[in-house]
Chain A
Amino acid sequence: MVAIDEICDDEWAEWYRLTPQERWDRSQALWPTFLALGGTLDAEPDTHSPFFDADAWRPVPVDGRPGVRVLRRSGI
Chain B
Amino acid sequence: MGGQACVFYGAAEFSRDTDLAILSSSDNLECFRAALAGLDAECIALPPFQPEYLLRGHAVHFRCHHPDAVGMRIDVMSVMRGVAPFDRLWARRTTIQTADGDAYDLLSLADLVQAKKTQRDKDWPMLRRLVEADYLQYRAQSTPGHIEFWLNQLRTPVLLVELAVRHPDVAADVARHRPLVAFAVAGDPIAVQDALAVEEATERDADRRYWQPLRAELETLRHRRP
Spell out A's residues near B (CB within 8 Å).
Answer: 1-2, 4, 6-8, 12, 15-16, 20-21, 23-25, 27-28, 30, 34, 40-43, 46, 48-51, 53, 55-57, 60, 64
Contacts and interface: CB of A to CB of B under 8 A. Distances in A.
29 contacts: A1-B162, A4-B136, A6-B158, A7-B156, A15-B12, A20-B9, A21-B96, A23-B10, A24-B4, A24-B96, A25-B98, A27-B4, A27-B7, A41-B72, A42-B70, A42-B73, A48-B119, A50-B211, A50-B214, A50-B215, A51-B45, A51-B61, A51-B218, A53-B45, A53-B46, A56-B45, A57-B45, A60-B70, A60-B71
B14 A30 contact: yes
5 pairs of A and B residues whose beta carbons are closest in the complex: A42-B71, A56-B45, A60-B71, A41-B72, A50-B211
A43 B132 CA distance: 27
B17 interface: yes
A15 B10 contact: yes
A42 B63 contact: yes
A58 to B, nearest CB: 9
A45 B120 CA distance: 13
B132 A7 contact: yes
A63 B125 CA distance: 33
Nearest to B10: A16
A1 B219 CA distance: 51
B220 to A, nearest CB: 13
Given A21-B96, A42-B72, A50-B211, A7 B158 contact: yes
B71 A40 contact: yes
Contacts of B162: 1-2
B33 interface: no
B218 A46 contact: no
SS class, residues of chain A in contact with chain B = loop
Contact of B122 (A2, A23, A48, A57): A48
A55 B224 CA distance: 13
Contact of A46 (B12, B70, B120, B129): B120
A51 B159 CA distance: 34
For A6, A21, A51, A53, the residue with the greatest tally of chain B CB atoms inside 10 Å of its CB is A51
Nearest to A64: B70
A29 to B, nearest CB: 11
A12 B7 CA distance: 12
A43 B8 contact: no
Nearest to B211: A50
Contacts of A55: 222, 225
